[in-house]
Chains A and B, each alone.
Chain A
Amino acid sequence: MSETLLDDRPRPSSAPKPKPQPPIGLLAELTHRCPLRCTYCSNPIELESRSAELDTETWKRVFSEAADLGVIHLHLSGGEPCSRKDIVELTRHAAEVGLYTNLITSGVGVKESQLDALFEAGCDHIQLSMQGADEEITVAVAGMKGAFERKQEFARQVVARGFPLTLNSVIHRQNIHQVPVMIEKAVEFGAKRIEIAHTQYYGWALRNRAHLMPTKADVDRTIEQVEEARERLKGVLVIDAVFPDYYAKYPKLCNGGWGTRTLSVTPSGKVLPCHAAETIEHLDFWSVRDHSLADVWDHGPAFEAYRGTDWMQEPCRSCERKHIDYGGCRCQALALVGDASATDPACVKSPHHDRMGDLARSESAFAPDPDKVSYRLIGAA
C-alpha cells in the first residue's frame, strides 16, 4: 500500500503531446451566491449571476463525465453551494456515479434537515470555513452578524451526524494572531483536520491585498505555532498549512502543475485549469455546454497553454527545479509581472522577486484602513 497525499501522484513529462493523465480532483463552483462577504474571497470580481448558472441536469452530466474521466474527489463549492436548491440531488448523483463528495460550506444558513438529507445522499466530508476564532473577528472578515455562533452550532451538528469535518481558515492580517485559538477550536469542535491557509491574492483578495497582507514577523511566528501544535496534536488533529509566498524563496507548485491533477467548473459552466485562471484573459476557456469534460481536459486550449514545460521562458526553461514547481503560479506571474508565462515572481530567480517582497513589506507595515476594504458582493444580479 502506498499513500499518495494529493501532491505526489506521477505527472506527465513534456514529451510530444501524450494524452494527459486523468485529473483526480474537480472543483465545482455551483454558484457565486453566498450569504457571507469575505474580504479574501477568491471568486472573481465579476460574479456570475444566478440566471447564468448551469441547471441540475447539466451538473449531473458533468459529474458523470468527471467520474468516467477518472476524477476521484469532487469538491462542491461556490459561493455557498447550499444556496442551490438542488444541492442534495446533485450530491446524491455524484455519490452514485462513484465520486468522493466534499462539501465546502460557510455553514451559515444550512438547516439541520438539509444536513440530514446530505448525509443520507452520500455526502462524504464537510469542510467548514472559519473566518475568525470569535464573533468580533468573524464579523469583521465575513461582514455578517452572528456568523460565528452559527458556525459553532453547525460544526456540532456535522460531527454529531458522523461526518468527518475539516475546518478551513484563510489567514491574513486581521486574524493571523488567532491561529493558535483556531487550532484549539478545531479540537473542541471535533474536527479531524484544519487547513491554515494563507490568503492567496486573486479576485477580491487581490483588491484588498494592502488590507490583508501580514508582516513577515507574524508569518514566522505562525509557522512556529503550527509546528508546535502539529507535534502536540498528533493523532488528534491533522494540520495542513499554506504560507504566503510573497516572503518565500521558491514559488508554490500550482495544484501539481497546470492541467495535471485538477480542474474547476464555474457556475456558468466554463472549465478552468485553476479557479483563478480567468484573470488570464487571453485564454480560451471551453464550456461544458459545448464540450464533454474529457474533451476539455485533453484538448482545451486553456489547458494546453501551460501544461508541462514547453511554454517556459528563462530562467525556468533551464532550471533544475522546473519539474518540482513548474514555474509557480501563472495567475500571479500575470498579476505582478504582466506576463502569464513569466517566472512566478515568488521565485528568487525572477528579476521581479525583490519588488514582490518589498511590496509585501510596505503594505503590511501600515495599519489597515477599514474604509478602504471592499467586502465582496453577496451575489450578482
Chain B
Amino acid sequence: MGELPDATVPKLPHGVRFRADKARGGHILVGPERIFNIDGVSVEILKRVDGQTDIAGIVADLASVFTAEPAVIRPDVEAFLIDLRDKQMVTL
C-alpha cells in the first residue's frame, strides 16, 4: 500500500489556513506569503484534515461518500498530502 501508516494524523500547522474564497469562488490554502488554489477532490480531502482523523479514517470517509474502494483512492490522497507536506503546508 502507500507510504504512510494508517495512524498518521495529517494536520494544518499553525500559520496555515484552509478556507472558502468567497470573493473569487473556490477554496484556498493560505500560508505565509503564499496562496494555493484548491479544487475538486482536494477540497474534500482538506475538509477532513481536522487534526484528529487519521489517514485511514479520511480515506474510509471519502470512499463511502464517493462509493469508491479505499485501496484505490488511498495513493492519491497520500500523494496529495505528501506534496503539501513538502511545501510545509501540512504536517504528517
State the A residues within 8 Å of B (CB).
1-6, 9, 21-22, 24, 68-70, 72-73, 98, 100, 102, 119, 124-125, 127, 162-164, 166, 192-193, 235, 240
Task: Tell me the bound Cα distance from A68 to B24 in angstroms.
Answer: 11
Task: Tell which of A68, A70, A193, A235 touches B32, judged by Cβ atoms closer than 8 Å.
Answer: A193
Chain B residue numbers with a CB within 8 Å of A163 are 14-15
User: B35 within 8 Å of A by Cβ?
Assistant: yes
Task: Tell me the bound Cα distance from A98 to B35 in angstroms.
Answer: 14
Chain A residue numbers with a CB within 8 Å of B42 are 1
Residue pairs across A and B with Cβ atoms less than 8 A apart, 19 shown, are: A1-B37, A2-B37, A3-B35, A5-B34, A6-B35, A9-B35, A21-B24, A22-B24, A68-B23, A72-B30, A72-B35, A73-B35, A102-B32, A124-B17, A124-B32, A125-B15, A125-B31, A166-B33, A193-B32
Question: Separation in Å of the A96 CB from the closest CB of chain B?
Answer: 12
Q: Which residue of A has the minimal Cβ distance to B39?
A: A1
User: B51 within 8 Å of A by Cβ?
Assistant: no
Task: Tell which of B19, B36, B88 touches A4, judged by Cβ atoms closer than 8 Å.
Answer: B36
Task: Tell me the bound Cα distance from A127 to B33 in angstroms.
Answer: 11
Q: Is the CB of A70 within 8 A of B39?
A: no
User: B4 within 8 Å of A by Cβ?
Assistant: no
State the B residues within 8 Å of A (CB).
13-17, 19, 21-24, 28, 30-39, 42, 80, 83, 86-88
Question: Separation in Å of the B42 CB from the closest CB of chain A?
Answer: 5
Q: Is the CB of A1 within 8 A of B15?
A: no
In the complex, which of the residues B22, B24, B33 has the most CB atoms of chain A within 10 Å of its own CB atom? Answer: B33
Task: Tell me the bound Cα distance from A42 to B16 in angstroms.
Answer: 29
Question: Separation in Å of the A73 CB from the closest CB of chain B?
Answer: 7
Chain A residue numbers with a CB within 8 Å of B32 are 102, 124-125, 127, 164, 166, 192-193
Q: Which residue of B has the minimal Cβ distance to A100?
A: B30
Task: Tell which of A9, A22, A98, A164 touches B15, judged by Cβ atoms closer than 8 Å.
Answer: A164
Q: Is the CB of A73 within 8 A of B36?
A: no
Chain B residue numbers with a CB within 8 Å of A22 are 23-24
Q: Is the CB of B33 within 8 A of A2?
A: no
Question: Separation in Å of the A74 CB from the closest CB of chain B?
Answer: 11
Task: Tell me the bound Cα distance from A98 to B23 in angstroms.
Answer: 12
Task: Tell which of A73, A98, A162 touches B33, judged by Cβ atoms closer than 8 Å.
Answer: A73
Task: Tell me the bound Cα distance from A72 to B14 in angstroms.
Answer: 16
Task: Tell me the bound Cα distance from A66 to B86 in angstroms.
Answer: 31
Question: Separation in Å of the B47 CB from the closest CB of chain A?
Answer: 14
